Amino acid sequence: MVRRQSLHGQWSSRLAFVLAATGAAVGLGNIWRFPYVAGEHGGGAFVIIYLACVFAIGLPLFMAEAMLGRRGRRNPINAMQLLSQEEAGHSGWQVAGWIGVATGILILSYYSVVAGLTFSYAIDIAAGSLNHARPMDITAHYRELMNSPFELLFWHTLFLAFAVFVVARGVEQGLERVVKFVMPVLFLMLVVVVVYAGAKFAFGQAVQYLFDADFSRVDGDTLLTALGQAFFSLSLGMGAIMAYGAYLPDDASIPGTSFAIVLVDTVVALLAGLAIFSVALGSGLDPATGPGLMFHALPLTFADMPGGVFFGTLFFLLLILAAWSSSIGLIEPAVARMVERHGFSRRNAALAIGALAWLLGVLTLLSFNAFSGVRFLAGSLFENLDYLAANILLPLGGLLVALFAGWAMSKASSVDEFEIGTGLRYTLWRSFTRFVVPLGVAGIFCRALGWLP
């Protein structure tokens, strides 16, 4: 087969793709979202279900998205349209691309509000205002910030502006340059935080909380949330991995790079959980605090740490960069679509998508203060957006990708793209993509809706 060429350039190496895709996956989804949803769902049983979802459903889907991206060499919508015409004789499967692109923008709208908070905390820690702070001081600081819509708006705007700037610069000059520095340093800093938090606070309790499973507390909502977190953590179903796969060199191994990325992403999530739960359990914080858990636990870690001002500032700055790398992955699919389909320049496309996400984000930040009394369905506007994106749209988009890659796409095409022959590795991937992923996602949906016992 004649290989297509990406219209946006490509990664300079396999390592660049690994770092970029890891950057899209590793961010606030692991360090902010994973600990608090694990806390809300009781710890150990949730974590075990989450790990099962990551490797039984997430890994095959990650490989499928990267494969479809490289095969199509276009944005997710155009790639799915092109491939579905080639493989199925019609363009109906492009709906999977549309769901991914729309979900990415939706997630970015509230993700940037939460990510903007990291700016504020980095500055506060650098200024020493949280040095030697006690739990009640940290709680008061967080509440004051969340009750200030104008301050949240400032940080939300600043965060999105930097993300748009990086995307506008393109693949190698923008995306690749950021992730090559951010990811290795962030990982090292996270290890430092885990070691210190474990030594000073309650590491043993954190380990027990994360891995001691009480399945009597598991219900349909726990299963659905664990599946949604697996998708959120790996950036599945939001177009990011398919878009990044479009820039993947032809000689890079999709199975090998996918496994490396999923493994690193999972390790980061568990390390973040150990660090944050060590602090939370050791200082009397409730692990079920909710979305604010990270902003309570991490400042406490650095409050009395030797060199805490330096390490705390550095860690939150790196967390900002990791959030940027994730937000870039959320913007890129829509930007690529506007460039390819409508002839926009990358700069104008990035500005347009950034403006849309900014407007939606304003509604999210107001749900923490001015609109805090407005509650419906899953709770606040933020909680509804998060539930819709993580628990419905991401699994739905992933389900469509699995059905297309496993059933509509010919075996010859996927064998050609993976370049691993038709041995055990390929057979496992194809079997899981055709049967385990669709049945798992459908079963969890049905259980959550009460259709299964």
Rounded to 5 degrees, what are φ and ψ at 279? Answer: -70, -45
The mean-pLDDT minimum among 4-13, 218-227, 332-341, 441-450 falls in 4-13
Tens digits of residue pLDDT in 49-68 = 999 999 999 999 999 999 99
Number of folded domains in the chain?
1
Cβ(36)–Cβ(295) below 8 Å: no
The overall average pLDDT reported for the chain is 86
Beta-bridge partners for 141: none
Cβ(44)–Cβ(221) below 8 Å: no
Question: How far is it, in rounded angstroms, from Cα 154 to Cα 382?
Answer: 18
Domain for residue 122, yes or no? yes
CATH number where 440 lies:
1.10.4160
DSSP state of 379: B
Tens digits of residue pLDDT in 357-399 = 999 999 999 999 988 888 988 788 888 998 888 888 888 899 9
Question: How far is it, in rounded angstroms, from Cα 266 to Cα 233?
Answer: 8
Q: Is the pLDDT of residue 100 over 50?
A: yes
Q: Which domain holds residue 35?
A: 14-448
Domain for residue 9, yes or no? no
Q: Is the pLDDT of residue 25 over 80?
A: no
Q: How confident is the model at residue 7 (pLDDT cuts 50, 70, 90)?
A: low
pLDDT of residue 175: 58
Question: How far is it, in rounded angstroms, from Cα 384 to Cα 109?
Answer: 13
As a whole-number percent, the residues of the chain with pLDDT over 70 amount to 93
Provide Rg for the chain, Cα atoms: 21
Query: What's the pTM value of the predicted model, to 2 decimals?
Result: 0.89
Question: How far is it, in rounded angstroms, from Cα 451 to Cα 301?
Answer: 44
The mean-pLDDT minimum among 186-190, 240-244, 256-260, 423-427 falls in 186-190
pLDDT of residue 328: 80
Q: At what angle do helices 135-146 and 149-168 cross, to 10 degrees?
A: 80
Q: How confident is the model at residue 446 (pLDDT cuts 50, 70, 90)?
A: confident
Please compute the mean of the pLDDT values over residues 205-227 and round it to a whole number: 87
Question: How far is it, in rounded angstroms, from Cα 325 to Cα 440?
Answer: 30
Q: How confident is the model at residue 171 (pLDDT cuts 50, 70, 90)?
A: low
Q: Is the pLDDT of residue 2 over 80?
A: no
Tens digits of residue pLDDT in 109-119 = 998 998 898 88
Find the DSSP H helices in 132-219. Answer: 135-146, 149-168, 177-200, 203-211
Domain for residue 262, yes or no? yes
Domain for residue 453, yes or no? no
For the chain, helix (H) and strand (E) counts, in that order, are: 22, 0
Q: Is the pLDDT of residue 15 over 90?
A: no
Beta-bridge partners for 368: none
125-137 core/surface letters (b: 16 or more CB in 10 A; e: else): bbeeebbebebee
The closest of 175, 233, 182, 238 to 17, measured between CA atoms, is: 175
The mean-pLDDT minimum among 144-153, 179-188, 304-313 falls in 179-188
pLDDT of residue 190: 84
The closest of 29, 28, 37 to 316, measured between CA atoms, is: 28
Please compute the mean of the pLDDT values over residues 185-193 and round it to a whole number: 83
Domain for residue 311, yes or no? yes
* Residue that wins the pLDDT comparison between 339 and 342: 339
The tokens for 411 are 């075996």
The tokens for 4 are 């297509």
Cβ(11)–Cβ(171) below 8 Å: yes
Question: How far is it, in rounded angstroms, from Cα 104 to Cα 394?
Answer: 9
Q: Tell me the residue length of the chain.
A: 453
Cβ(300)–Cβ(283) below 8 Å: yes
Tens digits of residue pLDDT in 254-289 = 999 899 889 989 998 999 899 888 888 888 888 888
* Residue that wins the pLDDT comparison between 254 and 343: 254
pLDDT of residue 6: 65
Cβ(297)–Cβ(280) below 8 Å: yes
Q: How many CA atoms lie within 13 A of 96 on its CB side?
A: 31
Domain for residue 165, yes or no? yes
DSSP state of 32: I
Domain for residue 3, yes or no? no
As a whole-number percent, the residues of the chain with pLDDT over 90 amount to 36
Q: What is the DSSP string of 49-114?
A: HHHHHIIIIIHHHHHHHHHHHHHH-S-HHHHHHHHHHHHHSSSTTHHHHHHHHHHHHHHHHHHHHH
Cβ(329)–Cβ(107) below 8 Å: no
Domain for residue 2, yes or no? no
